[in-house]
């Protein structure tokens, strides 16, 4: 898969998540958050008003610190595909 194809599929997965109106499980959201931040090279610190949420987000980011942006995109896509596949 080319970089352009990966980016297109990743953007489609992000749109699917953003268009979904039902709540997601918290652990799923944390994984999405971490892989999205890594995939988009967004290294800003978590900015929730609740310190505990920031701690969970920081931990999620720490757990994937050694993967590449392409690996993060691929994993994000897999998470989204599996979520929608198995929730039917």
Domain residue extents for the chain: 27-88
41: left (phi over 0), alpha (psi -120 to 50) or beta: left
> With respect to CATH, is domain 27-88 assigned 1.20.80.10?
yes
Distance CA 88, CA 72 (A): 25
Please list the alpha-helical segments (H only) found in the chain: 3-19, 26-39, 51-63, 69-86
Report pLDDT digits (tens) over 10-39.
999 999 999 999 999 999 999 999 999 999
| Alpha-carbon span 47 to 72, nearest angstrom | 21
pLDDT band of 86, cuts 50, 70, 90: confident
Question: Can you tell me the mean pLDDT for 30-54?
Answer: 91
């Amino acid at each position: 898969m080319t970089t352009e194809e990966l980016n297109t599929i990743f953007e489609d997965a992000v749109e699917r998540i953003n268009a979904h109106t039902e709540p997601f499980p918290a652990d799923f959201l944390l994984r999405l958050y971490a892989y999205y931040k890594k995939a988009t090279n967004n290294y800003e610190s978590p900015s929730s008003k609740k310190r505990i949420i920031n701690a969970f987000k920081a931990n999620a980011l720490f757990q994937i610190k050694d993967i590449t942006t392409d690996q993060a995109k691929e994993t994000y896509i897999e998470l989204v595909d599996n979520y929608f596949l198995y929730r039917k």
